[in-house]
Structure 1
């Protein structure tokens, strides 16, 4: 089986600067459009946001999308129309919303004096018009030292949060010269890799901080970490979906 690989270097992403928000788009979003970067299978959005102190997104709607937020530094203050008032999501937490039939929410930097850094990820669901849902969980960073820790899955009973899609996300933080292999949960899926920090060799490709890489037509992928505290996000998603 020949693996198909696409590389998205950090500097090739779309960028926007709204003053209070500086962001980089891996896939087409807002005013950034790239016909070759609409999505990777069911993975529709991967936004790398920096939000100034006290600033954020006013109340806005979503529908029929699974939305995952991963704060990398700082705190998100969340409010929605499902009676979740002033929820705070901190670095180390994972937040998920199933927008389903429709949800409105706002998100702000909970701290006035420092930037909030977070990843905003959207995944197409495998069920439309479900009842809207909000959830968050706190995971232990030590459980991802030199291994991949599951943070998202399709299963309510599994570690992390769950979504309406046959998708699995993992985070890992690795020491220099650590090696590991990732095996697909579902052989029909693909894997999108995002390097949060550090330097990683994957299938003889070198990725640096904020680089992305998609792999399809494979069952296992080999990783070697070339810098200490290299942090990587894995997103296994269906490539064919309705």
Structure 2
């Protein structure tokens, strides 16, 4: 009982400390508001300019920016992935985006495990989490791959939802790592070409949607084939 009470008080203390820092430390409050405004623009160039403004610390800022958007779901991660590819080259950008997205996904998973559904609902919204719950129930581990491939579906809410299930961390970690790798490479490659404005941006999104549909169809055909073999 003492251990349970101690862990509970630690969780409450950490949460209270974060809330107090946000509301009463002005630099933190203003930075968080600035980041939400930045993401709301849906502008890759604005993200790139923000990251570049930190000079040699740009990769570190990009890393923490990805982690921030993970926790503050459903902010769009693909903007950072595109920006990383444009700033650091598509290979180095892909490595940075993949590593930081893994860190963000892990954090989301453990927040859900430690604080439960009510806290997650406050971070993501009840309606959004309910939708992802049904999506997760239907596709299981495939949900991680499909969600990562779709540009406008929050991969981070899927990470939160996974933390609310009985899935072990390592099952989640490997599924996440493998599931997001091809998408990160594709995003980064497309992001490296996004220097010509809206046309290439739209082309990139269409390419991603096409690949998403292709993977979904391959999975469906494969499952149907296995079902026929069993019958």
Name the structure where helix makes up a greater proportion of residues: 2
Same fold by TM-score greater than 0.5: no
Q: Larger radius of gyration, structure 1 or 2?
A: 2
TM-score by length of 1: 0.25
Name the structure where strand makes up a greater proportion of residues: 1
